[in-house]
Structure 1
Amino acid sequence: MTNTPQRFIGHLSLEGAVGVSLSEIRIRLLEQIGVCGSISQAAKAVPLSYKAAWDAIDAMNNMAAQPLVVRVTGGRQGGGTQLTDYGRSIAAMYRALELEYQVALDRLSVRLGDVGGADIHDFQSLMHRLSMKTSARNQFSGPIAGLRDGGVDYEVRLRLDAQSELISVITKASAENLALAIGKEVFAFVKSSSVLLCTDRDLRLTARNQLWGEIVEIQQGSVNDQVSLLLPSGRSVTAVITHDSCDIMGLAVGQQACALFKASSVILAVYD
Protein backbone atom coordinates (compact mmCIF):
# COMPACT_ATOMS: atom_id res chain seq x y z
CA MET A 1 0.00 0.00 0.00
CA THR A 2 1.31 3.43 -0.91
CA ASN A 3 1.31 5.96 1.89
CA THR A 4 -0.27 9.27 0.98
CA PRO A 5 2.01 12.15 2.01
CA GLN A 6 0.64 14.23 4.86
CA ARG A 7 -0.38 17.66 3.67
CA PHE A 8 0.57 20.80 5.56
CA ILE A 9 -2.10 23.50 5.42
CA GLY A 10 -0.53 26.92 5.61
CA HIS A 11 -1.73 29.54 8.07
CA LEU A 12 0.65 32.36 7.20
CA SER A 13 1.82 34.58 10.06
CA LEU A 14 4.39 37.27 9.35
CA GLU A 15 6.69 38.75 11.96
CA GLY A 16 8.40 42.01 11.03
CA ALA A 17 7.96 45.72 10.54
CA VAL A 18 4.32 45.35 9.50
CA GLY A 19 3.27 43.91 12.79
CA VAL A 20 3.83 41.65 15.74
CA SER A 21 1.72 39.06 13.88
CA LEU A 22 0.22 39.73 10.46
CA SER A 23 -2.07 36.72 10.29
CA GLU A 24 -5.01 35.42 8.28
CA ILE A 25 -7.50 36.79 10.81
CA ARG A 26 -5.93 40.25 10.81
CA ILE A 27 -5.83 40.35 7.03
CA ARG A 28 -9.50 39.39 6.89
CA LEU A 29 -10.20 42.19 9.36
CA LEU A 30 -8.40 44.68 7.11
CA GLU A 31 -10.27 43.42 4.05
CA GLN A 32 -13.64 43.67 5.81
CA ILE A 33 -12.88 47.21 6.98
CA GLY A 34 -12.20 48.06 3.33
CA VAL A 35 -15.60 46.65 2.40
CA CYS A 36 -17.71 47.84 5.35
CA GLY A 37 -15.99 51.03 6.48
CA SER A 38 -17.02 50.05 9.99
CA ILE A 39 -14.98 48.35 12.68
CA SER A 40 -18.05 46.80 14.33
CA GLN A 41 -19.35 45.31 11.06
CA ALA A 42 -15.88 44.11 10.07
CA ALA A 43 -15.40 42.46 13.49
CA LYS A 44 -18.70 40.57 13.13
CA ALA A 45 -17.74 39.37 9.64
CA VAL A 46 -14.33 37.94 10.71
CA PRO A 47 -15.61 37.12 13.46
CA LEU A 48 -13.87 38.94 16.34
CA SER A 49 -15.07 40.83 19.35
CA TYR A 50 -15.13 44.61 18.96
CA LYS A 51 -12.33 44.98 21.52
CA ALA A 52 -10.18 42.26 19.90
CA ALA A 53 -10.60 43.97 16.53
CA TRP A 54 -9.42 47.33 17.87
CA ASP A 55 -6.55 45.66 19.72
CA ALA A 56 -5.46 44.05 16.45
CA ILE A 57 -5.68 47.35 14.55
CA ASP A 58 -3.73 49.20 17.24
CA ALA A 59 -1.02 46.51 17.18
CA MET A 60 -0.72 46.63 13.38
CA ASN A 61 -0.71 50.43 13.22
CA ASN A 62 1.93 50.58 15.95
CA MET A 63 4.23 48.23 14.05
CA ALA A 64 3.64 49.51 10.52
CA ALA A 65 5.66 52.19 8.74
CA GLN A 66 2.34 53.92 7.96
CA PRO A 67 -1.16 53.47 9.45
CA LEU A 68 -3.12 50.61 7.88
CA VAL A 69 -6.44 51.84 9.28
CA VAL A 70 -7.52 55.36 10.23
CA ARG A 71 -10.47 56.75 12.12
CA VAL A 72 -12.72 59.05 10.09
CA THR A 73 -15.67 61.30 10.90
CA GLY A 74 -19.07 61.22 9.29
CA GLY A 75 -20.11 57.63 9.93
CA ARG A 76 -23.58 56.53 11.03
CA GLN A 77 -22.72 57.19 14.66
CA GLY A 78 -20.53 60.18 13.85
CA GLY A 79 -17.41 58.22 13.01
CA GLY A 80 -16.03 55.20 11.23
CA THR A 81 -12.89 53.46 10.08
CA GLN A 82 -11.14 53.47 6.73
CA LEU A 83 -8.54 51.19 5.18
CA THR A 84 -5.64 53.24 3.83
CA ASP A 85 -3.93 52.66 0.48
CA TYR A 86 -0.98 51.28 2.42
CA GLY A 87 -3.31 48.89 4.23
CA ARG A 88 -4.73 47.68 0.90
CA SER A 89 -1.25 47.06 -0.49
CA ILE A 90 -0.24 45.10 2.64
CA ALA A 91 -3.37 42.92 2.38
CA ALA A 92 -2.77 42.28 -1.33
CA MET A 93 0.89 41.44 -0.71
CA TYR A 94 -0.10 39.02 2.05
CA ARG A 95 -2.56 37.20 -0.25
CA ALA A 96 0.04 36.86 -2.99
CA LEU A 97 2.60 35.52 -0.52
CA GLU A 98 0.01 33.17 0.95
CA LEU A 99 -0.44 31.46 -2.44
CA GLU A 100 3.31 30.95 -2.83
CA TYR A 101 3.53 29.73 0.76
CA GLN A 102 0.94 26.99 0.19
CA VAL A 103 2.69 25.86 -3.00
CA ALA A 104 5.95 25.54 -1.05
CA LEU A 105 4.22 23.55 1.71
CA ASP A 106 2.70 21.17 -0.86
CA ARG A 107 6.17 20.53 -2.28
CA LEU A 108 7.49 19.93 1.24
CA SER A 109 4.72 17.41 1.94
CA VAL A 110 5.72 15.38 -1.11
CA ARG A 111 9.38 15.34 -0.08
CA LEU A 112 8.46 14.26 3.46
CA GLY A 113 6.42 11.32 2.16
CA ASP A 114 9.06 8.85 3.32
CA VAL A 115 9.44 10.43 6.77
CA GLY A 116 7.69 8.78 9.70
CA GLY A 117 4.56 10.34 11.14
CA ALA A 118 6.18 10.73 14.57
CA ASP A 119 8.96 12.86 13.05
CA ILE A 120 6.41 15.13 11.37
CA HIS A 121 4.49 15.45 14.65
CA ASP A 122 7.69 16.44 16.48
CA PHE A 123 8.37 19.03 13.80
CA GLN A 124 4.89 20.51 14.16
CA SER A 125 5.24 20.61 17.96
CA LEU A 126 8.52 22.47 17.62
CA MET A 127 6.89 25.07 15.36
CA HIS A 128 4.20 25.69 17.99
CA ARG A 129 6.76 26.08 20.77
CA LEU A 130 8.74 28.57 18.72
CA SER A 131 5.68 30.80 18.19
CA MET A 132 5.94 33.75 20.59
CA LYS A 133 3.07 35.78 21.97
CA THR A 134 3.21 38.46 24.64
CA SER A 135 0.67 39.83 27.08
CA ALA A 136 2.12 43.35 26.85
CA ARG A 137 -0.67 45.65 25.63
CA ASN A 138 1.67 48.22 24.05
CA GLN A 139 3.83 46.88 21.24
CA PHE A 140 6.07 48.96 18.99
CA SER A 141 8.84 48.46 16.46
CA GLY A 142 11.48 50.64 14.87
CA PRO A 143 15.19 51.05 14.20
CA ILE A 144 17.71 51.76 16.96
CA ALA A 145 18.64 55.45 16.79
CA GLY A 146 21.07 55.55 19.70
CA LEU A 147 23.07 53.34 22.07
CA ARG A 148 24.88 54.49 25.21
CA ASP A 149 27.05 52.17 27.28
CA GLY A 150 26.51 52.86 30.98
CA GLY A 151 28.92 50.24 32.24
CA VAL A 152 26.48 47.73 33.71
CA ASP A 153 23.56 48.75 31.52
CA TYR A 154 22.73 50.18 28.09
CA GLU A 155 20.44 53.04 27.14
CA VAL A 156 18.70 52.24 23.86
CA ARG A 157 16.82 54.86 21.82
CA LEU A 158 14.22 53.44 19.45
CA ARG A 159 12.95 55.63 16.61
CA LEU A 160 9.15 55.32 16.22
CA ASP A 161 8.67 58.12 13.68
CA ALA A 162 10.02 61.55 12.77
CA GLN A 163 8.79 63.06 16.05
CA SER A 164 8.83 60.22 18.56
CA GLU A 165 11.41 57.99 20.23
CA LEU A 166 11.25 55.34 22.92
CA ILE A 167 14.02 54.96 25.47
CA SER A 168 14.80 51.64 27.10
CA VAL A 169 17.41 50.75 29.72
CA ILE A 170 18.53 47.11 29.71
CA THR A 171 21.52 45.25 31.13
CA LYS A 172 24.75 45.18 29.16
CA ALA A 173 24.50 41.39 28.97
CA SER A 174 21.03 41.66 27.41
CA ALA A 175 22.24 44.22 24.87
CA GLU A 176 25.07 41.92 23.84
CA ASN A 177 22.74 38.90 23.68
CA LEU A 178 20.39 40.81 21.36
CA ALA A 179 23.36 41.99 19.27
CA LEU A 180 22.00 45.53 19.28
CA ALA A 181 23.43 48.01 16.77
CA ILE A 182 22.46 51.37 15.29
CA GLY A 183 19.80 50.89 12.62
CA LYS A 184 18.79 47.41 13.74
CA GLU A 185 15.03 46.82 13.84
CA VAL A 186 13.79 45.90 17.33
CA PHE A 187 10.48 45.36 19.08
CA ALA A 188 9.51 47.19 22.26
CA PHE A 189 6.88 46.03 24.77
CA VAL A 190 5.32 48.07 27.58
CA LYS A 191 2.65 46.75 29.94
CA SER A 192 -0.40 49.00 30.17
CA SER A 193 -0.13 48.93 33.98
CA SER A 194 3.31 50.58 33.67
CA VAL A 195 1.88 53.59 31.80
CA LEU A 196 0.87 56.71 33.73
CA LEU A 197 -1.16 59.62 32.35
CA CYS A 198 -1.00 63.39 32.80
CA THR A 199 -2.69 66.35 31.13
CA ASP A 200 -0.49 69.24 32.32
CA ARG A 201 2.13 70.17 29.71
CA ASP A 202 4.01 72.29 32.27
CA LEU A 203 4.44 69.40 34.69
CA ARG A 204 8.06 68.20 34.96
CA LEU A 205 8.49 64.46 35.47
CA THR A 206 11.42 62.04 35.61
CA ALA A 207 9.83 59.48 33.26
CA ARG A 208 12.08 59.24 30.18
CA ASN A 209 9.22 58.29 27.86
CA GLN A 210 6.55 60.95 27.39
CA LEU A 211 4.18 60.51 24.44
CA TRP A 212 1.41 63.05 23.85
CA GLY A 213 -1.76 62.06 22.04
CA GLU A 214 -5.53 62.30 21.96
CA ILE A 215 -7.73 60.11 24.14
CA VAL A 216 -9.81 58.03 21.72
CA GLU A 217 -11.33 55.45 24.05
CA ILE A 218 -12.02 54.91 27.73
CA GLN A 219 -13.19 51.48 28.84
CA GLN A 220 -14.56 51.74 32.35
CA GLY A 221 -14.29 49.00 34.95
CA SER A 222 -15.38 48.62 38.52
CA VAL A 223 -11.86 49.28 39.80
CA ASN A 224 -9.65 50.21 36.83
CA ASP A 225 -10.22 52.00 33.53
CA GLN A 226 -8.39 51.35 30.25
CA VAL A 227 -7.49 54.58 28.43
CA SER A 228 -6.20 54.55 24.84
CA LEU A 229 -4.30 57.48 23.31
CA LEU A 230 -3.86 58.01 19.57
CA LEU A 231 -0.45 59.50 18.76
CA PRO A 232 0.06 61.93 15.83
CA SER A 233 1.84 59.14 13.91
CA GLY A 234 -1.27 56.93 14.02
CA ARG A 235 0.20 54.64 16.67
CA SER A 236 -1.51 54.22 20.02
CA VAL A 237 -0.65 53.80 23.69
CA THR A 238 -2.90 52.20 26.29
CA ALA A 239 -2.81 52.79 30.04
CA VAL A 240 -4.69 51.05 32.84
CA ILE A 241 -5.36 53.41 35.75
CA THR A 242 -7.81 53.35 38.63
CA HIS A 243 -11.36 54.47 37.98
CA ASP A 244 -11.02 57.05 40.77
CA SER A 245 -7.91 58.54 39.13
CA CYS A 246 -9.74 58.78 35.81
CA ASP A 247 -12.58 60.67 37.48
CA ILE A 248 -10.27 62.98 39.47
CA MET A 249 -8.34 63.90 36.31
CA GLY A 250 -11.57 64.41 34.38
CA LEU A 251 -10.32 62.33 31.47
CA ALA A 252 -12.59 62.30 28.42
CA VAL A 253 -12.49 61.21 24.80
CA GLY A 254 -11.04 63.95 22.62
CA GLN A 255 -8.81 65.33 25.37
CA GLN A 256 -5.04 65.66 24.98
CA ALA A 257 -3.01 63.59 27.42
CA CYS A 258 0.52 62.29 27.86
CA ALA A 259 1.49 58.65 28.35
CA LEU A 260 4.42 58.36 30.76
CA PHE A 261 6.54 55.30 31.49
CA LYS A 262 10.05 54.63 32.77
CA ALA A 263 12.84 53.48 30.48
CA SER A 264 13.22 50.40 32.67
CA SER A 265 9.61 49.45 31.85
CA VAL A 266 10.39 49.01 28.14
CA ILE A 267 11.26 45.41 27.21
CA LEU A 268 13.15 44.88 23.95
CA ALA A 269 13.17 41.92 21.58
CA VAL A 270 14.65 41.16 18.17
CA TYR A 271 13.48 38.85 15.39
CA ASP A 272 16.29 36.95 13.66
Structure 2
Amino acid sequence: MKIDGRFWLTKENQSFLGYGRIELLERIDTTGSINAAAKEMKMSYKAAWERINGMNALADQPLIERSTGGKGGGGTKLTPYAHELIATFHRLGELHRQFIDRFAEAGNDPERLARILSRTFLTTSARNQIPSTLQTIETNGLHSTLTLSLSGSDTLRSTITAKSVENMGLAIGCDTYAIIKSSDIHIASSRPDSKTSDNILSGTIETLERSGENIEIGLRLEGGTLLIALEKQDALQNLQVGISAYAIISPLHIIIGL
Protein backbone atom coordinates (compact mmCIF):
# COMPACT_ATOMS: atom_id res chain seq x y z
CA MET A 1 0.00 0.00 0.00
CA LYS A 2 1.26 3.46 -0.88
CA ILE A 3 0.01 6.82 0.38
CA ASP A 4 -0.27 9.31 -2.46
CA GLY A 5 -2.32 12.36 -3.39
CA ARG A 6 -3.21 14.52 -6.38
CA PHE A 7 -2.62 18.26 -6.39
CA TRP A 8 -5.21 20.66 -7.80
CA LEU A 9 -6.05 24.30 -7.20
CA THR A 10 -9.75 25.15 -7.08
CA LYS A 11 -11.56 28.47 -7.11
CA GLU A 12 -15.23 29.08 -6.35
CA ASN A 13 -15.58 25.31 -5.87
CA GLN A 14 -14.45 24.68 -9.44
CA SER A 15 -11.25 23.07 -10.76
CA PHE A 16 -8.87 25.87 -11.68
CA LEU A 17 -5.32 24.57 -12.16
CA GLY A 18 -3.84 21.09 -12.40
CA TYR A 19 -0.71 19.64 -13.99
CA GLY A 20 -2.47 19.09 -17.34
CA ARG A 21 -3.66 22.69 -17.56
CA ILE A 22 -0.26 24.02 -16.52
CA GLU A 23 1.38 21.87 -19.20
CA LEU A 24 -1.02 23.31 -21.79
CA LEU A 25 -0.10 26.86 -20.79
CA GLU A 26 3.61 26.03 -20.89
CA ARG A 27 3.31 24.49 -24.36
CA ILE A 28 1.41 27.55 -25.61
CA ASP A 29 4.25 29.66 -24.21
CA THR A 30 6.81 27.53 -26.08
CA THR A 31 4.99 27.18 -29.40
CA GLY A 32 3.16 30.51 -29.52
CA SER A 33 0.08 28.64 -30.74
CA ILE A 34 -2.92 27.01 -29.08
CA ASN A 35 -3.30 24.65 -32.03
CA ALA A 36 0.34 23.54 -31.89
CA ALA A 37 0.17 23.08 -28.11
CA ALA A 38 -2.99 20.98 -28.48
CA LYS A 39 -1.33 18.74 -31.10
CA GLU A 40 1.71 18.19 -28.86
CA MET A 41 -0.64 17.10 -26.07
CA LYS A 42 -2.66 14.93 -28.46
CA MET A 43 -5.92 16.79 -27.83
CA SER A 44 -8.30 18.66 -30.11
CA TYR A 45 -8.13 22.41 -30.54
CA LYS A 46 -11.67 22.57 -29.15
CA ALA A 47 -10.67 20.73 -25.95
CA ALA A 48 -7.63 22.99 -25.49
CA TRP A 49 -9.70 26.11 -26.01
CA GLU A 50 -12.34 24.91 -23.53
CA ARG A 51 -9.64 24.44 -20.89
CA ILE A 52 -8.27 27.90 -21.52
CA ASN A 53 -11.75 29.43 -21.35
CA GLY A 54 -12.37 27.59 -18.09
CA MET A 55 -9.16 28.96 -16.58
CA ASN A 56 -9.80 32.48 -17.87
CA ALA A 57 -13.31 32.47 -16.39
CA LEU A 58 -11.88 31.81 -12.91
CA ALA A 59 -8.63 33.81 -13.16
CA ASP A 60 -8.34 37.33 -11.77
CA GLN A 61 -6.69 38.45 -15.01
CA PRO A 62 -6.48 37.08 -18.59
CA LEU A 63 -3.99 34.27 -19.09
CA ILE A 64 -3.30 34.62 -22.83
CA GLU A 65 -2.94 37.37 -25.40
CA ARG A 66 -3.76 36.72 -29.05
CA SER A 67 -2.51 38.72 -32.04
CA THR A 68 -3.47 38.52 -35.71
CA GLY A 69 -1.72 39.52 -38.90
CA GLY A 70 1.47 41.53 -38.93
CA LYS A 71 4.83 40.70 -40.42
CA GLY A 72 5.25 37.47 -38.48
CA GLY A 73 1.63 36.40 -38.64
CA GLY A 74 -0.68 35.86 -35.69
CA GLY A 75 0.07 34.01 -32.50
CA THR A 76 -0.70 33.47 -28.85
CA LYS A 77 1.41 34.31 -25.83
CA LEU A 78 0.99 34.12 -22.09
CA THR A 79 0.40 37.20 -19.99
CA PRO A 80 2.75 38.09 -17.11
CA TYR A 81 -0.06 37.02 -14.76
CA ALA A 82 -0.08 33.54 -16.35
CA HIS A 83 3.67 33.22 -15.81
CA GLU A 84 3.18 34.12 -12.14
CA LEU A 85 0.45 31.49 -11.80
CA ILE A 86 2.66 28.81 -13.35
CA ALA A 87 5.54 29.60 -10.97
CA THR A 88 3.18 29.61 -7.97
CA PHE A 89 1.62 26.29 -9.02
CA HIS A 90 5.00 24.58 -9.37
CA ARG A 91 6.14 25.85 -5.96
CA LEU A 92 2.91 24.72 -4.27
CA GLY A 93 3.18 21.39 -6.10
CA GLU A 94 6.69 20.90 -4.73
CA LEU A 95 5.49 21.59 -1.19
CA HIS A 96 2.55 19.22 -1.69
CA ARG A 97 4.94 16.47 -2.79
CA GLN A 98 7.11 17.05 0.28
CA PHE A 99 4.01 16.75 2.46
CA ILE A 100 2.93 13.51 0.76
CA ASP A 101 6.48 12.15 1.09
CA ARG A 102 6.18 12.54 4.86
CA PHE A 103 3.00 10.48 4.83
CA ALA A 104 4.60 7.93 2.48
CA GLU A 105 7.33 7.25 5.06
CA ALA A 106 4.74 5.33 7.07
CA GLY A 107 3.96 2.78 4.36
CA ASN A 108 1.10 0.64 5.69
CA ASP A 109 1.95 1.21 9.35
CA PRO A 110 -0.73 3.44 10.98
CA GLU A 111 1.25 3.80 14.21
CA ARG A 112 4.29 5.03 12.33
CA LEU A 113 2.06 7.49 10.49
CA ALA A 114 0.80 8.75 13.86
CA ARG A 115 4.38 9.33 15.00
CA ILE A 116 5.17 11.22 11.80
CA LEU A 117 2.10 13.43 12.19
CA SER A 118 3.03 14.22 15.77
CA ARG A 119 6.52 15.21 14.74
CA THR A 120 7.31 18.92 14.94
CA PHE A 121 7.75 20.39 11.50
CA LEU A 122 11.15 21.92 10.99
CA THR A 123 11.63 25.60 10.22
CA THR A 124 15.14 26.24 8.92
CA SER A 125 16.72 28.25 6.16
CA ALA A 126 17.92 25.07 4.43
CA ARG A 127 16.04 24.40 1.19
CA ASN A 128 16.39 20.63 1.48
CA GLN A 129 14.61 18.95 4.41
CA ILE A 130 14.34 15.36 3.23
CA PRO A 131 12.38 12.63 5.06
CA SER A 132 14.60 9.62 5.70
CA THR A 133 15.01 6.52 7.83
CA LEU A 134 18.19 5.68 9.73
CA GLN A 135 19.63 2.41 8.37
CA THR A 136 23.07 2.07 9.96
CA ILE A 137 25.32 3.81 12.49
CA GLU A 138 29.11 3.35 12.34
CA THR A 139 31.04 5.05 15.13
CA ASN A 140 34.78 5.73 14.92
CA GLY A 141 36.16 7.72 17.81
CA LEU A 142 34.44 11.11 18.09
CA HIS A 143 32.44 10.76 14.87
CA SER A 144 29.63 8.57 13.59
CA THR A 145 28.64 7.95 9.98
CA LEU A 146 24.93 7.40 9.45
CA THR A 147 23.34 5.76 6.43
CA LEU A 148 19.92 7.22 5.64
CA SER A 149 17.39 5.68 3.28
CA LEU A 150 15.29 8.08 1.21
CA SER A 151 12.23 7.30 -0.90
CA GLY A 152 12.88 4.63 -3.51
CA SER A 153 16.33 3.08 -3.26
CA ASP A 154 18.32 6.31 -2.75
CA THR A 155 20.58 6.58 0.30
CA LEU A 156 22.71 9.28 1.91
CA ARG A 157 25.64 9.11 4.31
CA SER A 158 25.95 11.77 7.00
CA THR A 159 28.86 12.27 9.38
CA ILE A 160 28.05 13.83 12.74
CA THR A 161 29.62 13.63 16.19
CA ALA A 162 29.12 10.49 18.26
CA LYS A 163 27.91 12.77 21.05
CA SER A 164 25.12 14.07 18.79
CA VAL A 165 23.99 10.49 18.10
CA GLU A 166 23.80 9.89 21.85
CA ASN A 167 22.11 13.21 22.70
CA MET A 168 19.48 12.79 19.98
CA GLY A 169 18.77 9.19 20.93
CA LEU A 170 19.33 8.06 17.36
CA ALA A 171 18.72 4.37 16.69
CA ILE A 172 18.44 2.20 13.61
CA GLY A 173 14.96 2.44 12.14
CA CYS A 174 14.08 5.86 13.52
CA ASP A 175 12.55 8.55 11.30
CA THR A 176 14.84 11.47 10.55
CA TYR A 177 15.31 14.43 8.23
CA ALA A 178 18.41 15.01 6.13
CA ILE A 179 18.87 18.79 6.13
CA ILE A 180 21.11 20.21 3.40
CA LYS A 181 21.74 23.79 2.29
CA SER A 182 21.29 24.27 -1.45
CA SER A 183 24.80 25.74 -1.70
CA ASP A 184 26.22 22.47 -0.29
CA ILE A 185 24.85 20.40 -3.19
CA HIS A 186 26.96 20.40 -6.34
CA ILE A 187 25.61 19.27 -9.70
CA ALA A 188 27.62 17.53 -12.44
CA SER A 189 26.53 16.37 -15.88
CA SER A 190 28.87 13.36 -15.75
CA ARG A 191 29.47 10.91 -12.90
CA PRO A 192 32.40 11.93 -10.66
CA ASP A 193 35.24 9.65 -9.62
CA SER A 194 33.74 6.73 -7.69
CA LYS A 195 36.65 6.85 -5.23
CA THR A 196 35.32 10.02 -3.62
CA SER A 197 33.83 9.78 -0.13
CA ASP A 198 31.04 12.17 -1.14
CA ASN A 199 27.46 11.07 -1.72
CA ILE A 200 26.73 10.73 -5.45
CA LEU A 201 23.07 10.53 -6.45
CA SER A 202 21.74 10.34 -10.00
CA GLY A 203 18.60 12.01 -11.26
CA THR A 204 17.04 14.22 -13.90
CA ILE A 205 17.12 18.02 -14.11
CA GLU A 206 13.53 19.12 -13.48
CA THR A 207 13.87 22.90 -13.06
CA LEU A 208 16.44 25.59 -13.82
CA GLU A 209 16.09 29.17 -12.60
CA ARG A 210 18.75 31.70 -13.48
CA SER A 211 19.27 34.98 -11.64
CA GLY A 212 22.37 37.12 -11.98
CA GLU A 213 25.46 34.97 -11.53
CA ASN A 214 23.57 32.12 -9.88
CA ILE A 215 21.44 29.22 -11.08
CA GLU A 216 18.99 27.22 -8.95
CA ILE A 217 18.67 23.60 -10.04
CA GLY A 218 15.94 21.14 -9.16
CA LEU A 219 17.21 17.56 -9.51
CA ARG A 220 14.61 14.79 -9.24
CA LEU A 221 16.34 11.67 -7.94
CA GLU A 222 15.50 8.23 -9.33
CA GLY A 223 13.63 7.43 -6.10
CA GLY A 224 11.46 10.55 -6.40
CA THR A 225 13.17 12.95 -3.98
CA LEU A 226 13.65 16.51 -5.25
CA LEU A 227 16.98 18.18 -4.40
CA ILE A 228 17.48 21.94 -4.76
CA ALA A 229 21.05 23.08 -5.54
CA LEU A 230 22.49 26.57 -5.97
CA GLU A 231 25.47 26.96 -8.30
CA LYS A 232 27.34 29.60 -10.28
CA GLN A 233 26.05 29.91 -13.84
CA ASP A 234 29.48 30.04 -15.48
CA ALA A 235 30.33 26.58 -14.11
CA LEU A 236 27.21 24.89 -15.52
CA GLN A 237 26.59 26.24 -19.01
CA ASN A 238 25.64 22.82 -20.42
CA LEU A 239 22.75 22.00 -18.07
CA GLN A 240 19.24 21.73 -19.51
CA VAL A 241 15.87 20.61 -18.19
CA GLY A 242 15.32 16.92 -18.89
CA ILE A 243 18.94 15.74 -18.96
CA SER A 244 20.50 13.28 -16.53
CA ALA A 245 22.82 14.71 -13.88
CA TYR A 246 24.45 13.89 -10.55
CA ALA A 247 24.23 15.51 -7.13
CA ILE A 248 27.45 15.51 -5.10
CA ILE A 249 27.09 16.05 -1.34
CA SER A 250 29.72 15.76 1.36
CA PRO A 251 28.60 13.67 4.37
CA LEU A 252 29.87 16.53 6.55
CA HIS A 253 27.28 18.88 5.04
CA ILE A 254 24.22 16.81 5.98
CA ILE A 255 22.58 17.80 9.25
CA ILE A 256 20.24 15.35 10.97
CA GLY A 257 16.84 16.49 12.20
CA LEU A 258 14.10 14.69 14.13
Same fold (TM over 0.5): yes
Residues 149, 194 of structure 1: alpha-carbon distance in 2 compared, 3 angstrom cutoff: same
Matched-pair identity in %: 25
RMSD over aligned CA atoms reads 3.4
Residues 205, 32 of structure 1: alpha-carbon distance in 2 compared, 3 angstrom cutoff: farther
Map Cα deviations across residues 13-52 of structure 1 (whole Å, 9 max, x no partner).
Answer: xxxxx9xxxxxxxx9x93528944238599x89x993453
Runs (5+) with no aligned partner, structure 2: 26-54, 61-84, 108-112, 114-119
Amino acid at match of 2:241: V
Amino acid at match of 2:188: C
Q: Does the 8 A contact of 1:154 with 1:172 survive in 2?
A: yes
What corresponds to 2:77 in structure 1? none
What corresponds to 2:91 in structure 1? 52
2:221 alignment partner, one of 231, 244, 255: 231
Q: Secondary structure at the match of 2:216?
A: strand
Runs (5+) with no aligned partner, structure 1: 1-17, 19-26, 67-85, 87-92, 94-129
Pairs within 5 Å for 1:147-158: 147-158=137-148
Map Cα deviations across residues 137-184 of structure 1 (whole Å, 9 max, x no partner).
Answer: 112112211001111011111111452111111111111111011111
What corresponds to 2:242 in structure 1? 254
Q: Secondary structure at the match of 2:242?
A: coil
> In the aligned structure 1, how far is the partner of 2:252 from the partner of 2:124?
18
> In the aligned structure 1, how far is the partner of 2:201 from the partner of 2:169?
27
- 1:201 pairs with 2:178: no
Q: Secondary structure at the match of 2:9?
A: helix
Q: Secondary structure at the match of 2:245?
A: strand
- Shift in Å, 1:203: 3.4
What corresponds to 2:204 in structure 1? 214
> In the aligned structure 2, how far is the partner of 1:37 from the partner of 1:213?
24
- Shift in Å, 1:211: 1.0
- Shift in Å, 1:209: 1.2
Map Cα deviations across residues 202-251 of structure 1 (whole Å, 9 max, x no partner).
Answer: 6345243111000011001111000111112221111110011121xx00
Q: Secondary structure at the match of 2:7?
A: helix
1:37 alignment partner, one of 7, 10, 18: 18
> In the aligned structure 2, how far is the partner of 1:260 from the partner of 1:62?
22
Map Cα deviations across residues 56-97 of structure 1 (whole Å, 9 max, x no partner).
Answer: 13533554528xxxxxxxxxxxxxxxxxxx9xxxxxx9xxxx
Amino acid at match of 1:53: L
> In the aligned structure 1, how far is the partner of 2:191 from the partner of 2:8?
39
Q: Secondary structure at the match of 1:49?
A: helix
Which gives a bigger RCO, structure 1 or 2 (Cα 8 Å, sep 6+)?
A: 1
Q: Secondary structure at the match of 2:96?
A: helix
Pairs within 5 Å for 1:104-253: 132-201=122-191, 203-204=193-194, 206-247=196-237, 250-253=238-241
Q: Does the 8 A contact of 2:7 with 2:93 survive in 1?
A: no
Amino acid at match of 1:256: S
Q: Does the 8 A contact of 1:219 with 1:225 survive in 2?
A: yes
- Shift in Å, 1:255: 0.7
- Larger CA deviation: 230-239 vs 254-263: 230-239
Q: Number of residue pairs matched?
A: 180
Residues 205, 257 of structure 1: alpha-carbon distance in 2 compared, 3 angstrom cutoff: farther
What corresponds to 2:253 in structure 1? 265
Residues 162, 30 of structure 1: alpha-carbon distance in 2 compared, 3 angstrom cutoff: closer
